[in-house]
Copies of this chain bind each other. A is one copy, B any other.
Amino acid sequence: MAVEVVYRSSRDLERLFMDKAEADRHDKMLELAEALAAALQKATPSLSEQQAEDIGVFMARHRDLFAKAFKNNPEVLQELPASAEPA
């Protein structure tokens, strides 16, 4: 038995990482997902909380692709996988 260090995001207490950089990436992804969900739900009140959260997480997981799409290249969105499951 030994004591070991694990890392987690304060936004998702259940997911533990051995690697701090990975925990950081997860935290940043969730930060973006939360900001997106809040913005979309404010703009589209007919969205359920669950739908807003799902869309936020989906877009945050594919952050680089959406960054390109918003910057100047909407076509890159065709590269997205069909499912909202984790890549």
Contacts and interface: CB of A to CB of B under 8 A. Distances in A.
A80 B43 contact: yes
Q: How large is the interface on A (under 10, 10 to 19, 20 to 34, 35 or more residues)?
A: 20 to 34
A71 B84 CA distance: 21
Nearest to A46: B51
Number of copies: 2
A70 B63 contact: yes
Q: Do most interface residues of chain A lie in helix, strand or loop, or is the interface mixed?
A: helix
Interface of A: 31-32, 34-36, 38-40, 42-44, 46-47, 51, 54-55, 58-59, 63-64, 66-67, 69-71, 74-75, 77-78, 80, 82-84
Given A35-B74, A35-B78, 19 more contacts: A32-B69, A32-B74, A34-B74, A35-B75, A35-B77, A36-B77, A38-B77, A39-B77, A40-B59, A42-B82, A43-B80, A44-B55, A44-B58, A47-B55, A51-B51, A59-B70, A66-B66, A66-B70, A67-B67
